[in-house]
Amino acid sequence: MSNPVTQLSETETDALLKKVNQQLNLNSFDVNDHQLIQQMVECMGDPRGLVRLGFAEALGVVGFPAVPFLREALAHHCNPVVRRAAAKTLNLIADPTAIPTLIDAVLNDDDVVVRGSAVGALAQTGEASVPPLIDILASPESTETIKGHAAWALAFIGNKAREQLYQAFNSDSAEVRSAVVGAIAKVAEEQREERALNLLIDSLQDPASSVRSEAAAALGNLAEQSAIPDLLKLLQHSEGESRKAAALALMKIGDPAVLESLQTALERESEAAIQQIIKLAITQLEKKLESDDWN
């Protein structure tokens, strides 16, 4: 990979940043000066963090005209510092035309910071990023780390793309459904709509353990009382991870009325680790009951 322009000295770099900021402040920056924009991108390889930040912010102000040069740098620049900065700057601009380049960076760049920054830019871009993120989650070739990044991005996008998320829940992929549950949980945190809560509760019966556990955790974090009957059913599931998730969720919801059911679950539980979780839930709810009695 060859760099489009030469690296300036620190003095030249500082002078260029000052000149660019002056032009931006005066609205005299020429967005058709491609050589200047390329030089600004190249300067994001400067060893000084504040200087890199200065050029990133300036390119963010330049906006869409800078995107082709940032995409080129992210895709092909030999310096990972420049690629990192390019991805972070695309985060500031949030232009959907950069999505293919960002996806390629997430999947193929050998620098972990570049991959993480590219995921951040996809999340910031919003609704248009949802289909390729879902493709990543559904692909058997994606690593667990990459799928984790994609799931985080979907949760970040959340409410901006909730219709797409609801549609994606019909996926045959457990990884997609699990990520959608996590994202819908964020939607429910922001806006407690019945549709979101129903999806989370229905997900407690999903055939995939990961989806059931994700849904239980979400409902626990939301302290959703209406989920208690379904969580009590999950507490009797044949799979240990589901019973564990149900017990933790019931503990977080904090309704002492489930104490008897938890005690019954403890008596029939055969796995020592899950017994400890149920005992913890019982202890916490008993403490809450005592506290409520004093109030």
Pair of tokens at residue 239: 């799979």
The least confident of 52-66, 99-113, 150-164, 205-219 is 150-164
Distance between terminal CA atoms of the chain? 69
Tokens 């949980």 belong to which residue? 185
How many whole angstroms separate alpha carbon 78 and alpha carbon 217?
A: 42
**Residue 2: its pLDDT value, please?**
42
pLDDT band at 224 (very low <50, low <70, confident <90, very high): very high
pLDDT band at 3 (very low <50, low <70, confident <90, very high): very low
How many whole angstroms separate alpha carbon 267 and alpha carbon 216?
A: 22
Say whether pLDDT at 191 is over 90.
no
**Residue 294: its pLDDT value, please?**
54
As a whole number, mean pLDDT of residues 167-189 equals 94
**Residue 5: its pLDDT value, please?**
73
How many whole angstroms separate alpha carbon 66 and alpha carbon 203?
A: 43
| Domain residue extents for the chain | 1-97
- In 3D space, the residue among 105, 24, 19 whose CA is nearest the CA of residue 63 turns out to be 24
Say whether pLDDT at 272 is over 70.
yes
| Percentage of residues of the chain with pLDDT beyond 70 | 97
How many whole angstroms separate alpha carbon 238 and alpha carbon 220?
A: 20
Asked if residue 218 lies in contact with residue 191, where contact means CB atoms within 8 angstroms, the answer is no
Say whether pLDDT at 192 is over 90.
no
How far from the centroid of its chain's Cα atoms is residue 244's Cα?
Answer: 25
As a whole number, mean pLDDT of residues 224-235 equals 97
Pair of tokens at residue 263: 């005690």
Sign of the torsion angle spanned by Cα atoms 176, 210, 230, 219: negative
Say whether pLDDT at 44 is over 70.
yes
**What is the tens place of the pLDDT at every residue in 119-177?**
999 999 999 999 999 999 999 999 999 999 999 999 999 988 989 999 999 999 999 99
Pair of tokens at residue 193: 């709509």
Pair of tokens at residue 221: 């974090």
**What is the tens place of the pLDDT at every residue in 46-94?**
999 999 999 999 999 999 999 999 999 999 999 999 999 999 999 999 9
pTM of the model: 0.84
Asked if residue 40 lies in contact with residue 58, where contact means CB atoms within 8 angstroms, the answer is yes
As a whole number, mean pLDDT of residues 232-244 equals 96
How many whole angstroms separate alpha carbon 183 and alpha carbon 171?
A: 15
At position 216, the amino acid (one-letter code) is A
How many whole angstroms separate alpha carbon 225 and alpha carbon 116?
A: 36
- In 3D space, the residue among 230, 108, 52, 153 whose CA is nearest the CA of residue 215 turns out to be 230
Sign of the torsion angle spanned by Cα atoms 238, 239, 244, 250: negative
Q: Can you list the alpha helix ranges (DSSP code H) found in 98-227?
A: 99-108, 112-125, 130-138, 144-157, 162-168, 174-190, 194-202, 209-222
Pair of tokens at residue 252: 């977080």
| C-beta neighbour count of 272 within 10 angstroms | 7
Return the H-helix or E-strand segment holding 246: helix 240-253
